[in-house]
């Protein structure tokens, strides 16, 4: 069973018109794409993701609505081309559900998992060259510490970076998780390597820059009266989305529809605990 986070809320804020054209920038396994497509008549949805594996699964999951979906393999930086390729100038709505999918996070061979052994990979797009293993085994200690501190918001970053450099070569996800666990004691519920894994994943996939790029091009991809809906799972990302949407409001280019972020209901969290940290924000373009 696949649970896209805040699905009903995303659909509500997109205010879907059956003849409209939508862009799902992060199709993943196709959960949100499917919900959009099923509400369309003559319209269609461009379903984009940088992960070809996920797109193949999304194709299966959305087969029933295939006539209303155009798939596209690319990053946020390629979205302008994705839209133009389908003969569209502006879309009626853009959805981005940021981060990694459950599939990416839990499939051991993708190397994101802290709990199952796998290669230190973490590339969302497997045609990309640099893997987490390349960073872990060849980056300077200072660079590792800065990434873990800034992207992972991990206070014990220096200690962790030192332990990583000493333990090189690090061969697998569980090897790395063990090195971090021995370097810093567990505090609270999180595995001590959670933030380190998150930081590496963000660097491997250049996630901060990709989000900045998305936030800068999204308003130009959406027609006047159309909407942008974004779901984020990390405070760093939600902050960027919030600031961009507020700036659009101040500049008279958009109307913020969510004064406070929309979060999942108790029921959704009960059924799908990973949705716990999801935050949705929406803006209407003027």
Ligand X SMILES: C[S@@+](CC[C@H](N)C(=O)[O-])C[C@H]1O[C@@H](n2cnc3c(N)ncnc32)[C@H](O)[C@@H]1O
Q: Which of 138, 235, 154 is nearest to 146 (CA)?
A: 154
Please return the burial class of 35, using the count of CB atoms within 10 Å of its CB with bins 0-12, 13-18 and 19+.
Answer: buried
Q: Directed axis angle between helix 194-204 and helix 207-221, to 10°?
A: 60
Q: Rule CB under 6 A: say whether 9 interacts with ligand X.
A: no
Q: Applying CB under 6 A, which of residues 210, 223, 255, 256 lies at the interface with ligand X?
A: 210
Q: Rule CB under 6 A: say whether 49 interacts with ligand X.
A: yes
How many residues belong to the site for ligand X (CB under 6 A)?
19
For residues 119-148, which are near ligand X according to CB under 6 A?
A: 124
3-state secondary structure 110-154: HCCCCCCCCCCCCCCCCCCCCCHHHHHHHCCHHHHHHHHHHCCCC
For residues 28-47, which are near ligand X according to CB under 6 A?
A: 28-32
Judged by CB, which is closer to ligand X: 98, or 164? Answer: 98
Q: Rule CB under 6 A: say whether 201 interacts with ligand X.
A: no
Q: Rule CB under 6 A: say whether 254 interacts with ligand X.
A: no
Q: Rule CB under 6 A: say whether 264 interacts with ligand X.
A: no
CB 36 within 8 A of CB 61: no
Q: Nearest 5 degrees, angle CA 221-CA 223-CA 225?
A: 135
Contact letters for ligand X, residues 70-99 (x by CB under 6 A): -----xx--------------------x-x
Residues lying near ligand X in the complex (CB under 6 A) are found at: 4, 26, 28-32, 49-51, 54, 75-76, 97, 99-101, 124, 210
């Amino acid at each position: 069973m696949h649970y896209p986070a805040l699905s009903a809320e995303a659909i509500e804020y997109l205010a879907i018109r059956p003849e409209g054209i939508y862009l799902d920038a992060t199709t993943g396994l196709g959960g949100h794409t499917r919900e959009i497509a099923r509400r369309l008549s003559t319209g269609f949805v461009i379903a984009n993701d940088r992960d070809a594996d996920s797109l193949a699964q999304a194709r299966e999951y959305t087969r029933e609505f295939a006539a209303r979906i155009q798939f596209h393999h690319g990053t946020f930086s390629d979205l302008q081309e994705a839209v133009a390729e389908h003969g569209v100038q502006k879309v009626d709505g853009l959805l981005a559900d940021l981060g990694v999918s459950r599939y990416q996070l839990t499939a051991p061979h993708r190397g994101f998992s802290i709990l199952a052994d796998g290669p230190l990979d973490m590339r969302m797009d497997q045609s990309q060259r640099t893997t987490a293993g390349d960073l872990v085994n060849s980056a300077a200690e200072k660079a590792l510490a800065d990434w873990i501190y800034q992207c992972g918001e991990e206070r014990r970053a220096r200690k962790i970076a030192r332990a990583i450099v000493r333990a090189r070569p690090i061969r697998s996800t569980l090897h790395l998780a063990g090195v971090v666990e021995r370097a810093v004691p567990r505090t609270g519920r999180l595995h001590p390597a959670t933030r380190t894994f998150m930081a590496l994943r963000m660097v491997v996939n250049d996630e901060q820059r990709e989000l900045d790029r998305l936030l800068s091009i999204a308003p130009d991809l959406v027609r006047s009266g159309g909407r942008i809906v974004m779901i984020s799972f990390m405070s760093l990302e939600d902050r960027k989305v919030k600031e961009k949407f507020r700036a659009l409001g101040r500049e008279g280019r958009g109307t913020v529809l969510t004064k406070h972020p929309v979060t999942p209901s108790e029921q959704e969290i009960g059924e799908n605990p990973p949705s716990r940290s999801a935050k949705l924000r929406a803006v209407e373009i003027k």
